[in-house]
């Protein structure tokens, strides 16, 4: 199973590349599939590509759900 996750654009580079930040984890991705994104915007990222721009409120809700699922899994571990 593959997931697409919201991430904030931390820096833009030439040739449609960007550095994203996801809770302190930073990675270079391609912006070649999206238009009109800027530093600070949230995008949905899948296998190294931004797929679409996401509004900040939706990104916050989605990231909160991921955090809750992660916390539930941690609680279930012995």
For residues 52 and 42, give the distance between their C-alpha atoms in angstroms, rounded to a whole number. Answer: 9
CB contact at 8 A, 67 and 31: no
Q: What pLDDT digit, counting tens, does each position of 11-69 carry?
A: 999 899 999 998 789 999 999 999 999 999 999 999 999 999 999 888 888 878 877 77
Nearest to 21 by CA among 9, 29, 32: 9
Cα separation of 29 and 9, whole Å? 9
Residue 62 CA to residue 19 CA, distance in Å, equals: 20
Domains of the chain listed by start with CATH number? 5-76 (2.30.30.140)
pLDDT of residue 9: 96
Amino acid 56: pLDDT: 86
Is the pLDDT assigned to residue 7 strictly greater than 60?
A: yes
């Amino acid at each position: 199973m593959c997931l697409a996750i919201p991430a904030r654009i931390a820096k833009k580079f030439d040739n449609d590349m960007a550095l994203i930040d996801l809770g302190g984890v930073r990675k270079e991705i391609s912006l070649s599939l999206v238009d009109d994104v800027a530093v600070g915007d949230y995008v949905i990222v899948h296998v190294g590509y931004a797929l679409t721009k996401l509004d900040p409120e939706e990104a916050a809700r989605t990231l909160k759900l991921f955090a809750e699922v992660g916390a539930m899994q941690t609680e279930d571990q012995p």
